[in-house]
Chain A
Amino acid sequence: MMASFLQAIVSGLVTGSIYALMTVGMTLIYGTLRTLNMAHGSMVMVGGYVSWMLFDSLGWGPLAGLVAASLVAFLFGILIQQVAVRPLIGKLGVDFEMTAFISTFAVTIVLSNLALRIYGARNKAVPPVIHGRLHLIEGVSVSWHSLVMAGVAVTMLLALGAFLSKTRYGLGITAVAQQLDAARLMGIPDQRVYNLTMGVSSALAAIAGVLLASVFFVSPNAGDLPLLKALIVAIFGGLGSIRGTILSAYIIGLLEALISTYFGVRWSLPLLFVVIMVVMLIRPTGLLGKPEEARL
């Protein structure tokens, strides 16, 4: 009884960490650009394919994949920003939030179909970073790969926090998110900040993609479920709030694990949605979201 509860907590924390890593970039982009980046899930897929290609052609494990995937996705992020987002910024008579939402969704469709064309529909498998399980106490265990996932996720979140609060360009990102006019008057180049935000966010999603590739498989639609989960986590946490996103990721991770332990896995999504809907009825802006004000 106690063991199954603890087991649920352990796997909930692992899931929560990976949800936080997957979503924080989406939050960062919403904070600065004020739109949902619907191509975010595709970066999870890109990460998976980069990791698989390194493994398949060179025999390199996922650790090399982490570095390579984040670099590739960083460039993808800038490309998406330049092609699908930048042309819409500041256009008179264009609802930026909605059009950018649609254009980034178009990017997702293009990338999925490119992947289908290049790699085919068949699932690709990538081995875990480390095999085996760690037995904590009687009846409670966690795979080493899950521990690596949680460790990498938490490390990346801490590094992101330090970057945003200590470095020149990190503070610049937060400044653009909170007061665009003042940021521009300080000499902060907003276009470069948008590129950086898209690059960093995409790299974080791709890192999640490399880690997840060893648990699931890589396929052309490997980004769909992560996109859906990231949307749920981001909206539940409060759009644009990084703290809210991390809090919401762990709450949702733990809820999913507890529900599937006690009610069975088929109840995990329906019950989760009930909880989220009730909370959103009370707090329409999410856990830590603020209505139409400064974010991040």
Chain B
Amino acid sequence: MLEVRGLRASYGETPVLEGIDLSVGDGQFVAVIGPNGHGKTTLLRTLSGLLEPTTGEISFDGERIDGLRPDLISMRGLVHIPQGDLPFGDMTVEENLLLGAFPADAWRKRSERLERVFTLFPMLAERRTQRARTLSGGERRMLALGRGLMRDARMLMIDEPSLGLAPVLVNEVYGHIETIVASGVTLLLVEENFSHVQAFDAHVLLLESGRIVRQGSVAELLADEIVMTTYLGT
């Protein structure tokens, strides 16, 4: 569904991604694991068009999307749930969610989508008229996930859903991600901590200094001693 070949990107003069190849199949769960500052967020920002790649190809559903504007990429159903959640702070929870249904076809079904998200996250229903900036960190994360689920995503990209959350909330967030995975959505997830994705049947890529240094299934990586000691620090 998503094919990436030789992707390079930089912030100004500083190269961040130094030739990434990856592919995500229909219904597959791919996790990119790596330390902070090695290009995980940049990878997602480049895929969703917020950052233009210097070279390389990105195709989604067989069509090239590199260089397209982010709103056009998003309209094709590649939905990016960004790091730091980026809520619309002065708008209500409900308005934030409605904006997740911005594409015309999703907008027509916005009421039923809203109900679906409220069933998944009852806490958001309780806070629907509250301004997003007054939410706690965990609530904001749920809002960001809910906003991404308001539309017909063909594929979701989630940036470090555990960032800055207490362990109990991390478990809750990953509980929701389990539900999303179980519903058959194609998922590309970026995470610093390998242990969060160990329980999933995921294909894992290790990203270091802007390159994919190892990849394999969760079981393969767990069995690989070099990987575990060198990259995952156990």
Contacts and interface: CB of A to CB of B under 8 A. Distances in A.
Interface in B79-123: 79-80, 82, 86-91, 95, 98-100, 102-104, 107
Task: Give the 4 A-B CB pairs with smallest separation, nearest first.
Answer: A182-B86, A187-B74, A184-B70, A178-B88
Given A171-B98, A172-B99, A184 B88 contact: no
B71 interface: yes
A183 B91 CA distance: 13
Given A175-B99, A186-B102, 15 more contacts: A171-B95, A172-B99, A178-B90, A179-B87, A181-B82, A181-B86, A182-B87, A184-B49, A185-B48, A185-B80, A186-B100, A186-B147, A187-B75, A188-B99, A296-B90
26 contacts: A168-B102, A168-B107, A172-B99, A172-B102, A174-B88, A174-B91, A175-B88, A175-B91, A175-B99, A179-B88, A181-B82, A182-B87, A184-B50, A184-B70, A184-B74, A185-B50, A185-B86, A186-B102, A187-B72, A187-B74, A188-B102, A189-B71, A189-B72, A294-B88, A295-B90, A296-B90
A256 interface: no
Nearest to A193: B71
Contacts of A183: 88, 99
B109 to A, nearest CB: 13
Nearest to A178: B88
A155 interface: no
Contacts of B214: none
A181 B95 contact: no
Interface residues of B, number: 29
Contacts of B70: 181, 184-185
Contact of B86 (A168, A171, A179, A188): A179
Interface of B: 48-50, 69-72, 74-75, 79-80, 82, 86-91, 95, 98-100, 102-104, 107, 133, 147, 151
A4 interface: no
B94 to A, nearest CB: 10
Interface string A112-127: 0000000000000000
Interface string A185-198: 11111100000000
B148 to A, nearest CB: 9
Contacts of B88: 174-175, 178-179, 182-183, 294
Contacts of A178: 88-91
A119 B159 CA distance: 59
A5 B50 CA distance: 57
B175 to A, nearest CB: 24
Looking at B90, B98, B100, B151, the one whose CB has the most chain A CB atoms below 10 A away is: B90
A187 B103 contact: yes
A181 B49 CA distance: 10
Interface in A73-92: none
Contacts of A182: 82, 86-88
Contacts of A174: 88, 90-91, 95
A188 B95 CA distance: 14
Contacts of B74: 184-187
Contact of A294 (B69, B89, B99): B89
Given A171-B99, A175-B99, A185-B50, A190 B71 contact: yes
A184 B69 contact: yes
Contacts of B90: 174, 178, 294-296
B89 A179 contact: yes
A172 B103 CA distance: 11
Nearest to B110: A168
A128 to B, nearest CB: 39
Nearest to B77: A187
